[in-house]
Amino acid sequence: MPTRAFDPAALERYREFLAERLEELENEIIPSLSEGDLKKAPAFGTAPGAAENAAVQYADFHATTWRNLQYLRGTLHGLIAGLQAAIDTGGAVDQQVATDIARLAEGDDLYA
């Protein structure tokens, strides 16, 4: 069985990668939905009912996309903070985390 070694440089590279994704999300993607081209629904044509049906679908799409982007944003912040904490503590974890990781490695479902 291969041994595992704590590699703070690898964690830092991954933290930087996630930080770049977060920056792109916050500076490019979210602004396009909040104040850019995707803020308003496009024109949906003149066919009977097209504007009413498409506008409702677009509003649902926009709300769902906005919510999912906010969840992603929160997840990225959490991952970045967790990686930084691991770097700062030298990879030390408490006993419960170690037990959970071992169970996951064995294929257990923590939530069952």
- Number of structural domains, the chain? 1
- Residues 42 and 55: beta-carbon distance below 8 Å: no
Tokens of 21: 């994704």
Q: Does residue 85 sit within a domain?
A: yes
Residues 6+ apart with CB under 8 A from 59: 41
Q: Does residue 111 sit within a domain?
A: no
Q: Does residue 74 sit within a domain?
A: yes
Q: What is the pLDDT of residues 34-72, one digit of tens each?
A: 887 777 776 667 777 777 788 788 888 889 999 999 999
Q: Does residue 112 sit within a domain?
A: no
Q: Which ranges in 1-112 belong to alpha helices (H)? A: 8-24, 30-34, 50-88, 95-105
Range of the domain at 84: 8-40+47-105
Q: Does residue 110 sit within a domain?
A: no
Q: What is the pLDDT of residues 66-104, one digit of tens each?
A: 999 999 999 999 999 989 988 998 877 777 777 777 777
66 vs 29: CA distance, rounded Å: 10
